[in-house]
């Protein structure tokens, strides 16, 4: 019987990890559809950001109440899964609490796991209340209807159930230890589940064993299922927050990135010896220059990673002056639309082996021009994001496409650019008249 249990566990583990690896490969493939980005600079600053922002949650606690609650859930859920190492070893080899060889340190570990599990349950309950009872504004905006709302609640339900199963498994294990049942050595300290255990006093030993095994199996299968659900969920940020913060910009917020395609064109015009019609050198492919971005393949890999990392928390939208004043723009929706389009492109590749044109693109089919031109480029969304996502960079890339490829800038902007071209200033005054204002005083 024990061998059968171990075999079934190994099969479940292989299937769960196998699906996760398959989805991870799809994720990496989709991100690599974007243009390469050089992140070899400022490595020390990048690692400091990972430690401070991703690991230390420094930008989460700017808003203390949700920040502290998230800290409970984050630390609890991550650290408790250290116990997964023990569960995996026990499942494969049929042992019971194999890490108890750590002695007193094991008592500290189990006790801390239980306290953190209780804090996770409290945090999840309060998060659910904030979303579904209090109806905080950023959680009830139009882009959060349907699947995004259901997804957020499903995550809370799953985390709640996993923590309850963890404590129920420990409570029944504790009772079996007290009964001196063979195979359940008296190890570990259970400050939370020992208070639950008296509720199980009337159960027989066989019923307790059944309950402990059922909770154990449901917990591990639930964790494997949740691991594979991450790919389809906004909770993917659990994994991607760390690489996303590392890839985040380390340039000053106001510095506008140079568009390489424009830079090459300017360099070509400035070089009197350059031949614009010259064939590419041997071994080089002819490169089609496209200014800006109209679809996800035109964006950078960092921007696509940003889209997958978005937590849909809405902090960016809640501080966006355009959104606050009733404009169409929601930075969170920009990220969600980019991810949805990227997923659509990925499914196209899955079905056809390569991307087949589908008469759709990110511009117009997902993100409207009204949204793009509503942005004030103030960087408030970038500053507010707890995991270093940059919605403004996608907006600006798409604006560049509209201006440089379609000459589709708003009339006011076209007038200003014409004045800059002709008068070296955005105002409609001749250069010779620029200082006339001083004569009026």
- The one-digit pLDDT tens for each residue of the chain (441 residues) are 567 888 999 999 999 999 999 999 999 999 999 999 989 889 999 999 999 999 888 888 888 888 888 887 777 767 766 778 888 888 998 888 888 888 898 898 889 889 989 998 998 999 999 999 999 999 999 999 999 999 999 999 999 999 999 999 999 999 999 888 888 888 888 999 999 999 998 899 999 999 999 999 999 999 999 999 999 998 899 899 999 999 998 988 878 877 777 777 777 778 777 776 666 555 554 455 688 999 999 999 999 999 999 999 999 999 999 999 999 999 999 999 999 999 999 999 999 999 999 999 999 999 999 999 999 999 999 999 999 999 999 999 999 999 989 988 888 888 888 888 888 888 887 777 777 777 765
Residue 300: strand, helix, or coil? strand
**Which parts of 248-390 fold into alpha helices (H)?**
260-270, 301-309, 315-318, 321-324, 331-352, 362-365, 369-374, 380-384
Residue of 179, 216, 170, 180 whose CA lies nearest to 201: 179
Cα distance between residue 369 and residue 328, in whole Å: 10
Residue 397 half-sphere exposure, CB side, CA atoms within 13 Å?
26
Q: So what's the pLDDT on residue 233?
A: 92
Question: What mean pLDDT is reported for the chain?
Answer: 89
Q: Do both 343 and 376 map to the same domain?
A: yes
Q: Which of 211, 246, 281 is the last residue of a domain?
A: 246
Q: Between the CA of residue 413 and those of 258, 409, 419, 423, 427, what are the distances in Å?
A: 20, 6, 10, 15, 11
Residues 263 and 233 in one domain: no
Candidates 217, 165, 200, 206; CA nearest to 184 is 206
Question: Which three-class secondary structure string do you get for 240-284?
Answer: HHHHHHHHCCCCCCCCCCCCHHHHHHHHHHHCCCCCCCCCCCCCC
Note whether 304 and 382 are same-domain residues.
yes
Q: Kindly report the CA angle at 233 between 231 and 235, in degrees rounded to 5?
A: 95
pLDDT digit string, tens, across residues 213-267: 999 999 999 999 999 999 999 889 989 999 999 999 898 887 887 777 777 777 7
pLDDT for the residue numbered 420: 86
Q: Which domain holds residue 386?
A: 249-273+289-431
Tell me: do 224 and 308 sit in the same domain.
no
> Does 231 share its domain with 305?
no
DSSP 67-111: HHHHHHHHHHHHHHTTHHHHHHHHHHH--SSGGGGGTHHHHHHHH
pLDDT of residue 423: 82
In a domain? residue 260 = yes
- What pLDDT score does 262 carry? 75
Beta bridge partners of 363: 367
Same domain, 369 and 355: yes
Are residues 68 and 161 both part of a single domain? yes
Q: Are residues 83 and 185 located together in one domain of the fold?
A: yes
Q: Is residue 439 part of a domain?
A: no
37 belongs to a structural domain: no
Give the span between the Cα atoms of 441 and 437, in whole angstroms: 8
Q: Within this chain, do residues 239 and 109 fall inside the same structural domain, yes or no?
A: yes
User: Does a structural domain hold residue 45?
Assistant: no
pLDDT in tens, 253-289: 878 877 777 777 777 778 777 776 666 555 554 455 6
Residues 214 and 254 in one domain: no
Counting the structural domains of the chain, the total is: 2
235 and 264 belong to one structural domain? no
Residues 138 and 168 in one domain: yes
CATH number reported for the structural domain that contains residue 414 in this entry: 1.10.1060
Instruction: Determine, yes or no, domain membership for 311.
Output: yes
Report yes or no: 17 and 225 within 8 Å, Cβ to Cβ: no
| pLDDT score recorded for residue 425 | 83
């Amino acid at each position: 019987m024990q061998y059968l249990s171990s075999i079934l566990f190994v099969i479940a583990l292989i299937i769960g990890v196998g699906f996760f690896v398959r989805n991870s490969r799809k994720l990496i493939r989709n991100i690599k559809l974007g243009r390469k980005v050089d992140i070899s600079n400022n490595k020390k600053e990048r690692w400091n950001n990972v430690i401070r922002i991703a690991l230390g949650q420094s930008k989460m606690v700017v808003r203390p109440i949700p920040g502290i609650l998230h800290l409970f859930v984050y630390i609890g859920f991550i650290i408790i899964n250290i116990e997964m190492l023990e569960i995996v070893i026990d499942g494969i080899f049929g042992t019971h609490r194999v890490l108890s060889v750590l002695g007193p340190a094991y008592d500290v570990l189990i006790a801390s796991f239980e306290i953190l599990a209780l804090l996770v349950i409290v945090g999840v309950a309060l998060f659910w209340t904030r979303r579904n009872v209090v109806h905080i504004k950023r959680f009830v905006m139009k882009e959060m209807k349907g699947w995004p709302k259901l997804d957020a609640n499903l995550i809370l339900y799953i985390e709640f159930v996993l923590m309850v199963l963890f404590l129920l498994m420990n409570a029944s294990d504790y009772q079996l230890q007290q009964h001196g049942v063979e195979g359940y050595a008296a190890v570990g300290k259970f400050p939370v589940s020992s208070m639950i255990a008296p509720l199980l006093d009337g159960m027989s030993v066989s019923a307790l064993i059944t309950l402990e095994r059922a909770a154990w199996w449901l917990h591990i299968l639930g964790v494997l299922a949740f691991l594979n659900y991450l790919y389809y969920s906004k909770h993917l940020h659990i994994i991607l927050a760390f690489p996303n913060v590392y890839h985040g910009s380390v340039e000053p917020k106001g510095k506008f990135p140079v568009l390489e395609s424009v830079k090459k064109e300017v360099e070509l015009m400035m070089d009197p010896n350059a031949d614009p019609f010259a064939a590419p050198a041997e071994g080089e492919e002819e490169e089609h220059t496209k200014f800006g971005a109209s679809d996800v393949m035109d964006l950078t890999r960092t921007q696509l990673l940003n889209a997958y990392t978005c937590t849909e928390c809405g902090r960016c939208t809640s501080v966006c002056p355009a959104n606050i004043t009733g404009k169409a723009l929601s930075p969170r929706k920009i990220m969600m639309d980019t991810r949805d389009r990227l997923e659509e492109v990925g499914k196209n590749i899955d079905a056809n082996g390569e991307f087949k044109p589908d008469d759709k693109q990110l511009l117009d089919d997902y993100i409207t021009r009204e949204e793009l031109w509503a942005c004030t480029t103030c960087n408030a969304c970038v500053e507010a994001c707890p995991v270093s996502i940059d919605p403004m960079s996608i907006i600006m890339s798409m604006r560049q496409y509209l201006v440089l490829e379609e000459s589709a800038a708003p009339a006011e902007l076209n007038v200003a650019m014409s004045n800059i071209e002709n008068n070296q200033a955005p105002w409609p005054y001749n250069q010779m008249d620029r200082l006339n204002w001083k004569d009026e005083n």
